[in-house]
Structure 1
Amino acid sequence: MKNCLIVDDSRVIRKVSRHLLEGMGFAVTEAADGKDALEQCTAQMPDVILLDWNMPVMSGLEFLGHLRDQEGGDQPRVVFCTTENDIDHIRAAIDAGADEYVMKPFDRETLHVKLQLVGMV
């Protein structure tokens, strides 16, 4: 079973995402900010990370930079999941090492397609 780390400061988004991902057969863990997520990745690297952009403590972009610098941090597929939809944000995410980008709000089908694109389903 593949595991997914959901990184989002919104408890509602984490709950909805967990429901969708568990329905697709993923084991799911959660983090409310980038710092907590980085600590979890150090302990056990997930297969895929669903990552919010705007969070307290450490933003998604900062987290991604630290993740990709870590040993094994190049392995997880990272899907940015955010309300930031302009081309500059998308380019910055991809340049920082994101594998895909999905806009909030999203549904099961959209998330499934993005996970297919990164080879996780």
Structure 2
Amino acid sequence: MARILVVEDNALNIKLFCDLLSAHGHEARPVTDSRVALETAREFQPELVITDIQLPYVSGLDLIRQIRAEPSLAEVPIMAVTAYAGNGDDDRIRAAGAQAYVSKPISVARFVAEVSALLPKEVPAAV
């Protein structure tokens, strides 16, 4: 089980993402206001951050940069999600510090696969 911060301003998307994560055994913390996302991340100490790029107040790209600048969060993997995938978006998102990028509408299988790929692998307990 991983702690995953989900930053998304659309209520249906945040419910979908959190339900999917919970169904896979993760603890999802939803944040609908990007202005409190960094503070929530500091307190929650997620093992993964999933953020929309098109957010009011603080854009997803700015949030990614803020997380990367925060010493306690700098190494946390980030997955960006956006409905507006255009030429160069992937490069801009990765340059800001995200490791993965999924376009909306999301493919559930791809979303789950990306989350699994970004989470630290569990080390099996010695028998």
TM-score, normalised via structure 2 length? 0.88
Question: Unpaired segments of 5 or more residues in structure 2?
Answer: 122-127
In structure 2, the residue matched to 1:44 is 44
Q: How many pairs are equivalent?
A: 121
C-alpha contact (below 8 Å) 2:48/2:119 kept by paired residues: no
In structure 1, the residue matched to 2:124 is none
SS in 1 for 2:88: helix
The two structures, once aligned, show a CA RMSD in angstroms of: 1.4
C-alpha contact (below 8 Å) 1:49/1:78 kept by paired residues: yes
Aligned residue runs from structure 1 range 75-94, under 5 A: 75-94=75-94
Amino acid aligned to 1:65? R
Question: Unpaired segments of 5 or more residues in structure 1?
Answer: none
In structure 1, the residue matched to 2:111 is 111
SS in 1 for 2:49: strand
Amino acid aligned to 1:46? P
CA distance in structure 1 between the partners assigned to 2:12 and 2:81 by the alignment: 14
Identity score, percent? 22
SS in 1 for 2:30: strand
In structure 2, the residue matched to 1:73 is 73
SS in 1 for 2:73: coil
* Structure 1 range deviating more: 106-115 or 48-57: 106-115
